[in-house]
Amino acid sequence: MQTRKLGNSGLEVSALGFGCMGLSYGYGPATDKSQAIALIRTAFERGVTFFDTAEAYGPFVNEELVGEAVAPFRDKIVIATKFGFRDGKVEAGLDSRPANIRAFTDAALKRLKTDRIDLLYQHRVDPEVAVEEVAGAVKDLIAAGKVAHFGMSEAGAQTIRRAHAVQKVTALQSEYSLWWREPEKEILPTLEELGIGFVPFSPLGKGFLTGAITESTTFDQNDFRNIVPRFSSSARKANQALVDLLGAIAKAKGVTPAQIALAWLLAQRPWIVPIPGTTKLHRLEENIGAAAVALTDADRRAIADILASVTVEGDRYPAHLQARVGR
């Protein structure tokens, strides 16, 4: 697989990363540990060198899983993880106090079975802690050799600028896909100006852009899509038009809708590195195949016409989660 550099940082990773969250958290029962480890190792064998996790995915168990899975090739890959929730629990609220960042880092190093974290993200901006303090704490961890690069997740443009002035931000991780293009307004120009890479999560619209989800699909009781307005039955029915139109382009090119969605993201900027996640080998192979899909000018115009003709229905988060993004 080709590689990309995240902005001006020099941090080089595979053009597509692997979002590991769904192996342990968020989409129903955790994947069998041996199967999850095998999937991560297969991703590496296929050229993936960028693996994303967080203390909140479990909490803690996803970091432990990733640490065990990548141990045989640790020095050949980049591990990204995230701090910022009290005791690692999303429901407990935010906590980006410097003392918590330091404690998290020491614990995460043990869980990940490593001596440094390649990319350390603040998971969500904490309004109770000045971002300059957060950036300063990570700067100290970088000086100590425990962390290599600083990242932010779902931060707003002005907050990114404030943090970057204290410690250079290597990457921003936020949602971006064919059905969530909000970052194009202010975030992408800011990142381009500052030389910061962009790591889109949910690049396949939490699975919807694959074409495998319909209005009649039912989710596991622990699947967080049950509370996402965009995944209500009526919204899925309305949004199916987007998938159908993309499917026609995919069929003409002999690829899948998911591959079109990922190829479109890769074509937006050379410093964008999507991190699709999956629990299935065939989906992993499909996602990796997207890195070789070249979109022609005609393809991109056709996609632009589709995006202009379809209005996606439903908010991407319920109100209490939306309040934590874009700060």
pLDDT digits (tens, 9 = 90+) for 95-132: 999 999 999 999 999 999 999 999 999 999 999 999 99
Spell out the domain ranges in the chain.
3-322
**Four-way CATH pick for 3-322: 3.40.50.720, 3.40.50.2300, 3.20.20.100, 3.40.50.1110:** 3.20.20.100
pLDDT at 227: 96
- Tens of pLDDT along 20-51? 999 999 999 999 999 999 999 999 999 999 99
- Tens of pLDDT along 63-78? 999 999 999 999 999 9
pLDDT at 33: 98
Whole-prediction pTM value?
0.98
pLDDT band, residue 164 (cuts 50/70/90): very high
Distance CA 168, CA 163 (A): 7
The number of angstroms, rounded, from the C-alpha of 205 to the middle of its chain's C-alpha atoms is 11
Note the residue count of the chain: 327
Catalytic residue list:
57
